[in-house]
Structure 1
Amino acid sequence: MRALSADERQELQAEIDATLAETGNGGVQISANEIAWNGGEPILVFPLPGETKAPPSSAAARDAEGLGSTSDVEPQVDWEGCPAGADDNRWYCFYQYGGFEGRRLQWNWAHCQTGVRFSDYGFDNKTTGWVNTTRNRDNVGMRVTVFDGWFVDTLWREQPWTKVSRVDSFHDNKASSFRACRI
């Protein structure tokens, strides 16, 4: 990560603090631009001031994600900053803006029975793009189903090993909840 000026650090910290105050559910700042919940899942990554995309996971996030060093991430896979670790450590990510820009909210656990509310992580109605790296050598992955409302209207389904830079304008910024089920 590049060195930030005092003003940039203050601007970024204000965004982090506002998100922690909004969510109020145990999130912890783990680096200058990352918040983690539940010991590392999910992780919300903020772009650095002056940048449009959130950078790849920091060392603190890689530790929390169970990725370890950058050598543990498959080098041939470019997943727009969404971690694609070893065969048993694949992730799915949501992006604030088209082109995989803005904040990135990343997950790797199944949430099939309970589902997840984006509002719990400061991401309600803020999803424009997504990546799903969850397919291992046995072709096992997660199907992510995204909803408008609390499991009311299905907006889209994400198959393992796929990505979409920008959802259509009818579904843009309407995601309120999701389920991720192993298939």
Structure 2
Amino acid sequence: MTHSRVRRLVVRTAGALVLLAAPLGAQAASAHSPAGDRRAIITALSESDRDVLQQAVDAQLAASRGGKQTAANEVSYPDGAVVVLPLPGQAQAPPWSGDHTRRSVRGPDWKHCPAPATEPSYYCFYSEKSWGGRRIQFNLFHEEAAVHFADYGFRDQTSSWVNTARGLEVIVDNDPGDGRWQMLWKEPPESLSGSVGHDDMADRFWAVRQ
């Protein structure tokens, strides 16, 4: 499965307008557990929209390594990284289902990138400008090591970003193919940008403690 195929499926997922209204019981479950979130999402979607969403999840799994579907619109990886896909009718991926116990009490609107009051903090990358499309999120466990987007089906697909981490700078690189990495941009601690200026070029990143 190619990266372009992943993107086409995700765009298709975001293209159909649906009313995300679940029964009261499902909504109550959603407020307390990731399992409830999954039930509410599935209940709210039509059968065709569920098929489209599952196709996008399957494409994400096929384009990456070691991923496992952990919610109707989420793929999680053994190192703690998570890809969250937008639901039908949404341009932006919703909050991570695992974030219900880590509500932020600090900072601005972090565009659904987790920002817990205590560490670990997160850095997120988005496939579209203005924090739209798929979101991949990493946490402090990725500090001081090169992380390659190709392992997560996200190579050359970043168009915006958020860094909620205190005291960590994120450095994003491109591989032009000649063996010499080219730095694209730096993300200061607790900052965000809706446009990277180097769309679809990010190949790896580093998180460096300042």
TM-score interval, smaller chain? 0.7 to 0.9
Measured against aligned partners, the alpha-carbon deviations of 1:114-162 in whole angstroms (never above 9, x if no partner) come to: 3011011011100010000001xxxxx2111000117700000101011
The amino acid across from 2:202 in the alignment is A
Q: 2:60: which partner in 1?
A: 19
Q: 2:20: which partner in 1?
A: none
Structure 1 CA distance for aligned equivalents of residues 53 and 120 of structure 2: 29
Change in CA separation of 1:155 and 1:134 when aligned onto 2, cut-off 3 Å:
same
Q: 2:195: which partner in 1?
A: 166
Q: 1:69: which partner in 2?
A: 101
Note the 1:134-173 alignment, pairs <5 A. Answer: 134-135=165-166, 141-149=167-175, 152-168=181-197, 171-173=198-200
Match of 1:8 among 20, 40, 49: 49
Identity %: 40
Q: 2:209: which partner in 1?
A: 182
Give the CA deviation at 1:76: 5.9
1:45 aligns with 2:76: no
Deviates more, 1:47-56 or 1:111-120: 111-120
What residue ranges of structure 1 are gaps of 5+ in the alignment?
Answer: 63-67, 136-140
SS in 1 for 2:192: strand
SS in 2 for 1:9: helix
Measured against aligned partners, the alpha-carbon deviations of 1:83-140 in whole angstroms (never above 9, x if no partner) come to: 00122121110011111100001011253543011011011100010000001xxxxx
TM superposition outliers: structure 1 runs of 4+ over 4 Å: none
Contact 2:120–2:140 (CA<8 Å) still a contact in 1? no
The amino acid across from 2:71 in the alignment is S
What residue ranges of structure 2 are gaps of 5+ in the alignment?
Answer: 1-39
